[in-house]
Amino acid sequence: MTESNNERITTTTIITKTAKIDHPINELIARRWSARAFSTKPVEKSKLLSILEAARWAPSSRNEQPWRYIVFTNENPEKLKKAQSVLKDINEYAKRAPILICAIARKTYSDNKNYNRLHFHDLGAANENMFLEAFNQGLIMHEMGGFGSIQYT
Amino acid sequence: MTESNNERITTTTIITKTAKIDHPINELIARRWSARAFSTKPVEKSKLLSILEAARWAPSSRNEQPWRYIVFTNENPEKLKKAQSVLKDINEYAKRAPILICAIARKTYSDNKNYNRLHFHDLGAANENMFLEAFNQGLIMHEMGGFGSIQYT
């Protein structure tokens, strides 16, 4: 690929798509979709912070807020590269993204250490808030389950 | 409790509350909270349909959309009452709500019947869409894990 081609790809056109809804819903929810075509342009830190802020305000069982995020950006290219390296081939497209976020959930309640059977459910809620906020910030996010979780050591 | 007291309680004042955010986020996400004080006033069917519609547009692994909902309303008071009867004491407040929705997730992928390890995560995302849409419709929703899942047979 030539340098100029590469530059053309990095323009930040975002394809919009609205859900074909049967009943009216909030625009934010209707407009979110899981695009795969990423610009490599860095994301402003303020936008990233807003996205993470949105996750904080999801509901959770006993307000445990079991979600944790590891954020990989170009601030540390080496770690970003390492994170990209564990993506499965099917998620090759995500190697272009300027940010990778690894979402994790704490399995036990902080106070009594009992198993929190809702931890993964609540992580899903927080993640959805992030996806919606990313759209609100004019960005796109795409979730992936396909990565080698043992590879990254 | 006297009849008049009861009527006073059923007025539909909704207490608004906005998250004390550190970074700007969409108002819909900032304003959602898990109120416990429910009016018994029936909810318009169009609003209920919009809430369920919002769930449909959550992202999910392989677009499986594993979420399923059983909706209990005053259209069938007997079934609503039966659903209320399985709530744990701690969730007594929810017996006032005019709608109870039981959220379930399919554990396997429809096509190959393999285990979908993300089913509960994806249910959480769909549920969050519902909560947000409920706020968008001027309603409140509160999620509860505390109910006897074996009791309802």
pLDDT digits (tens, 9 = 90+) for B56-83: 999 999 999 999 999 999 999 999 999 9
**B59 contacts in A (CB within 8 Å)?**
32, 34, 128, 131, 143
pLDDT value of residue B151: 58
Mean pLDDT of A125-142: 95
- Report whether A131 contacts A52 (CB < 8 A): no
Range from A9-13, A21-25, B45-49 carrying the lowest mean pLDDT: A9-13
For A58, other C-beta atoms within 10 Å of its C-beta total 25
pLDDT value of residue A23: 94
Q: Which residues have CB under 8 Å from A21's CB, separation 6+?
A: A30, B53, B57
* C-alpha span between B53 and A23 (Å, rounded): 6
The DSSP-derived string for chain B is --HHHHHHHTS----------SS---HHHHH---------PPPPHHHHHHHHHHHHTS--GGG---EEEEEE-TTSHHHHHHHHHTB-GGGGGGGG-S-EEEEEE--B-TTT--B-TTHHHHHHHHHHHHHHHHHHTT--------B-TTT--
* C-alpha span between A33 and A13 (Å, rounded): 15
pLDDT value of residue A146: 79
Asked if the B3-136 domain carries CATH number 3.40.109.10, the reply is yes
* C-alpha span between A127 and A119 (Å, rounded): 12
CB contact under 8 A, A128 and B123: no
Q: Which residues does B contribute to its contact with A (CB < 8 Å)? A: 19, 21-26, 28-30, 32, 34, 46, 49-50, 52-54, 56-59, 61, 117-118, 120-129, 131-133, 136, 143, 145
Tokens of A142: 């795409």
Tokens of A40: 């490599």
Residue B38 has pLDDT above 60, yes or no: yes
**A127 contacts in B (CB within 8 Å)?**
121, 124-125
Position of tokens 């109870």?
A: B100
- Report whether A69 contacts A55 (CB < 8 A): yes
Instruction: Report domain extents, chain A.
Output: 40-143
CB contact under 8 A, A145 and B61: yes
Residue A7 has pLDDT above 50, yes or no: no
Q: Which option is the CATH number for A40-143: 3.40.50.2300, 3.40.109.10, 3.40.630.30, 3.30.565.10?
A: 3.40.109.10
* C-alpha span between A101 and B133 (Å, rounded): 26
Position of tokens 């996806």?
A: A131
Q: Which residues have CB under 8 Å from A118's CB, separation 6+?
A: A60, A61, B124, B145
Q: How confident is the model at residue B14 (pLDDT cuts 50, 70, 90)?
A: low
Higher-confidence position of B80 and B147: B80
Write down the ipTM of this complex.
0.86
Encode pLDDT of B94-136 as tens digits: 998 999 999 999 999 999 999 999 999 999 999 999 999 999 9
pTM: 0.87
Position of tokens 């394809």?
A: A15
